[in-house]
Amino acid sequence: MNTITKLFPAAAVLLSLIVIAMPLVPRHEQGPYDLDTLASLPVSSGGRTKPLDTVARNSLMIVSDRQTVAIDGKRQPAIRWIIDVMARPQDANAYEVFRIDHPDVRSLVGVIEGEQKRFNFARLLQFGRGLNQQFIRIEGIKPADRTPYQSHLAELRDHVTTYDLLQNQQAPYLVPPLVDGEQWRPLAAELHASHEGHEVEHEPSQAGIRLGKILLAYQNQDPDRFNREVAEYATLLDRQMPDITRKARFEVFFNKLQPFYQGTVLYVLAFLLSCASLLTVGVKGSEISRTLGRAAVGVLAVTFILNTFGLGARVYMQGYAPVTNLYSSAVFIGWFCVAMGLFLEWLFKNGLGAALSAVIGCVTLIIAHNLADGDTMQMMQAVLDSNFWLSTHVIAVTIGYSATFLAGFIGIAFILIGVYTRGLNPQRHKTLGKMMYGVIAFALLFSFVGTVLGGIWADQSWGRFWGWDPKENGAVLIVLMNALILHARWGGMIKTRGVAVLAVFGNIVTAWSWFGTNMLGVGLHSYGFMDSAVQWMLLFVATQLAIMTAGLIPMARWRSFDAVDNDTLKAQSNTATDAP
């Protein structure tokens, strides 16, 4: 047993490392074509230079909700799909990649009951006249005014447009600026004598000619020539723009590693180990519980390092601070919550810090995944294009979000353990109270500092410090919420249970500031507009209110105290600095 308890944490860490390394192992048959080198070639799309691999993954994810495609019964990577779209359109048109979920939209392409949700481009062309008529009807209808049918129809129209641009080599911009004064250009402008009815002002460039030869070799099914042309073109770019090609190759590695997806899986493993540790306290002594707890912390630490690498990689590739949009804010919030949770675990060694870190880390990465819509490192909007303020105001506010959420989840743990289990003993009662108090004080500091810094940035950008913008209101509500909890605690109006209930309400306030204000689509901060998460927001609020209601049940009826007489309950509560 001693040997097992010593080796189990190390085995859990080793398993985590294997999970991390698995995406780097080739899972698709290589074939005769050097698609790896092709994937690392830099292109320009969405205002950002990136590898062709990223464009392929994002484009396929947009139209198909997947990053692989079935070809001849085998799953193939996105880079195989995009080169087929560009060079072998007849083959690509037969791939079933267009996902259509709405039944009324599916009926437009002659769907029969029980048929799959993915269709090929040839099928869409077959019903093209009817689809175009429907596309024309939704022109001019604002996204907020569309019915679900119209929204799904507009989504299909955008997917068809994306596919058409790829097939006609108008996107991404494949031809790099190898000569001073040039800009990235679409390959179509290089290969054809005219483009959109206007004569081309220059002869095809060296890069354009080489790219044309690559596509021609692939079209003619000549792998030797294809590999030779790709290698020579890659060498040319390495010589002309070494920094860009180096970063493009790194981004391909990042795409393969998928640190945030792998992090989601490992956070689940860490949570399961944490739960097992908490449930086995007192079973055959405490050795089993401690062993599982050490394993949970080990997995959590490995996952934290992986996500730290992921954040650092995004900073390197994008050239900005780690938080630039809603996607990156979700990743950062989860990352910082895990950092605080590991610190709390080191400080109190009660297993709850690890368990809560794993939950928040997993949930925030799932949120980030669902926020990803194409490139998550798209070109910065002008109002946000300031590394100084992104590194100060945005980071400080996001740390405030993270700490407020962590305090709220500690409050949830306090209430659920107390109401539904017998695990809220006086020691745990006191420990959770200290954890909540410290995290809320930390959250107040950073949310306040971040809000003030935001006002200074607003004064420099818009000429006013404060304008009662929805996002500004959300930020100040977080400050006031944390201040309210601390003042109520200092004034003796609430004790640990009251702090827990109010901390859970802090989750609602923070979620409103983070997401709710973006759903309004108004104000100077409306660049984060989203309209597809209202139901999830309402569901989250409902769950938090339900937990708060449970927390307001008299403590004498909590399962942790239901077998304790009133005098003992009062003594325990006073010892834990809380009266029922």
In this prediction, residue 418 carries a pLDDT of 92
What pTM was estimated for this model as a whole?
A: 0.86
Name the stretches of the chain with pLDDT < 50.
Answer: 193-198, 382, 529, 565, 569, 575-580
Whether 534 and 544 have beta carbons less than 8 Å apart is answered as no
Gyration radius of the chain over CA positions: 28
Asked if residue 390 lies in contact with residue 324, where contact means CB atoms within 8 angstroms, the answer is yes
CB 209 within 8 Å of CB 228: no
Distance (Å, rounded) from C-alpha 5 to C-alpha 192? 69
Q: What is the pLDDT of residues 557-571, one digit of tens each?
A: 898 886 554 555 455
Q: Which two tokens stand for residue 302?
A: 């490995």
Decide: helix, strand or coil at residue 138.
coil
Q: Residue 311 is which amino acid?
A: L
Model pLDDT, residue 580:
36
Task: At 74, give phi and psi (nearest 5°).
Answer: -125, 145
Q: In which element (H, E) is residue 44 found?
A: strand 42-45
Question: Would you list the DSSP string of 255-296?
Answer: HHH-HHHHHHHHHHHHHHHHHHHHHTTTTTTTHHHHHHHHHH
Per-residue pLDDT at 103: 86
d(CA 182, CA 135): 36
Tokens 């068809």, residue?
160
pLDDT given at position 577: 45
Domain ranges of the chain: 33-242, 258-342+351-380, 388-580
d(CA 118, CA 100): 6
Q: Is the dihedral of CA 426, 432, 438, 444 positive or negative?
A: negative
| Residues contacting 531, CB < 8 A, separation 6+ | 143, 144, 519, 521
Query: In the numeric block, which tokens belong to residue 529?
Result: 């507009």
Nearest 5°: the CA angle 65, 68, 71 is 120
Which distant-in-sequence residues (6+ apart) come within 8 Å of 190 by Cβ? 175, 200, 204, 205, 208, 209, 211, 212
| Parallel, antiparallel or unpaired: strands 198-199 and 48-51 | unpaired
Q: What pLDDT is stored for residue 381 in this prediction?
A: 58
pLDDT for residue 384: 58
Q: What is the dihedral of CA 525, 531, 532, 536, to 10 degrees?
A: 70
**Tokens encoding 347:** 């400080």
Pick from 168, 175, 242: nearest CA to 207: 175
pLDDT at residue 531 in the model: 56
Q: How far, in Å, CA of 387 to CA of 161, rounded?
A: 34
φ and ψ at residue 440, rounded to 5 degrees = -65, -40
Residues, the chain = 580
DSSP, res 350: S
Burial label, 518 (beta-carbon count in 10 A; 0-12, 13-18, 19+): buried
If phi over 0 gives left and psi between -120 and 50 gives alpha, with beta otherwise, what is residue 349? left
- Residue 409's alpha-carbon distances to 361, 402, 461, in angstroms, are 12, 11, 36
Summarised one tens digit per residue, pLDDT across range 471-517 is: 788 889 999 999 999 999 999 899 999 999 999 999 999 998 887 77
